[in-house]
Chains A and B, each alone.
Chain A
Amino acid sequence: MMKKLLNFIGRRDRWAWPHIAVMLFLVVLPLILIMGYAFTDAEGSFTLHNFVKFFTNSDAVNTFVYSLGIALMTTMICILLGYPAAYFMAGKQFSTPKVMAMLFILPMWINVLLRTLATVALFDFLHIALDEKALMFGMVYDFLPFMIYPIYNTLQKMDNSLPEAAADLGASPLKVFLRVTLPLSMPGVKSGIIMVFMPTISTFAIAELLTQNNIKLFGTVIQENVNNGLLNYGAALSLIMLVIIAITSFGGEKDNESSQLF
Chain B
Amino acid sequence: MKKFIANAYLWTLLTLVYAPIAIIFIFSFTEAKVLGTWTGFSTNLFTNLFEGAGGAELNNAIYYTLLIALIAATVSTLLGSLAAVGIYNMRARMKRVTIFLNSIPMINPDIITGISIFMLFVFLGISRGLLTIVLSHIAFCTPYVVLCVMPRLAKMNPNIYEAALDLGANPLQAFRRVLLPELWPGMISGFILSVTLSIDDFAVTLFTKGSSSIDTLSTYIYADARKGGLTPELRPLSALIFLTVLILLLVINYRAKNKKS
A residues contacting B by CB (< 8 A) are 6, 9-20, 22-31, 33-34, 37, 81, 84-85, 88-89, 91, 93-95, 100, 102-104, 106-107, 109-115, 117-122, 124-125, 141, 144-145, 198-199, 201-205, 208-209, 212, 219, 222-223, 226, 231, 234-235, 238, 241-242, 245, 249, 254, 260-262
Contacts and interface: CB of A to CB of B under 8 A. Distances in A.
A262 B170 contact: no
Given A17-B86, A125-B23, 6 more contacts: A121-B24, A122-B19, A199-B109, A204-B203, A226-B115, A238-B116
Interface stretch (B39-47, B54-62, B119-127): B119-127
Nearest to B97: A20
Contacts of A226: 115, 118, 207
A81 to B, nearest CB: 7
Nearest to A229: B122
Contacts of A31: 104, 116
B231 to A, nearest CB: 10
A179 B102 CA distance: 37
A94 B222 contact: no
Given A111-B241, A125-B36, A37 B101 contact: no
Nearest to A110: B245
B202 A124 contact: no
Interface in B22-51: 23-24, 27, 35-36
B164 interface: no
Contact of B83 (A20, A28, A100, A144): A20
Contact of A16 (B10, B86, B117, B139): B86
B52 interface: no
A262 B193 contact: yes
Contact of B189 (A24, A88, A110, A262): A262
Interface in B224-258: 225-226, 229-230, 234-235, 238, 241-242, 245-246, 248-249, 253
Contacts of B203: 204-205
B35 A19 contact: no
B8 to A, nearest CB: 10
18 contacts: A16-B82, A18-B82, A33-B116, A37-B119, A81-B13, A111-B202, A111-B221, A113-B202, A114-B242, A121-B23, A125-B36, A141-B17, A205-B203, A226-B115, A231-B122, A241-B112, A245-B109, A249-B107
Contact of A85 (B9, B24, B120): B9
B212 to A, nearest CB: 15
Contacts of B206: 205
A222 B111 CA distance: 9
B188 to A, nearest CB: 10
A20 B98 contact: yes
A65 B61 CA distance: 37
A238 B115 contact: yes
A186 B242 CA distance: 32
A217 B27 CA distance: 31
B206 to A, nearest CB: 8
Given A16-B82, A34-B119, A94-B7, A111 B200 contact: yes
B70 interface: no
B180 interface: no
Given A26-B135, A27-B139, A262-B148, A121 B221 contact: no
A55 to B, nearest CB: 20
B115 A6 contact: no
Contacts of B16: 141
B100 to A, nearest CB: 10
Nearest to A87: B6
Contact of A89 (B10, B87, B107, B238): B10
A22 B142 contact: yes
Nearest to A16: B86
Contacts of A84: 9
Contacts of A19: 79-80, 82-83, 86, 102, 142, 146
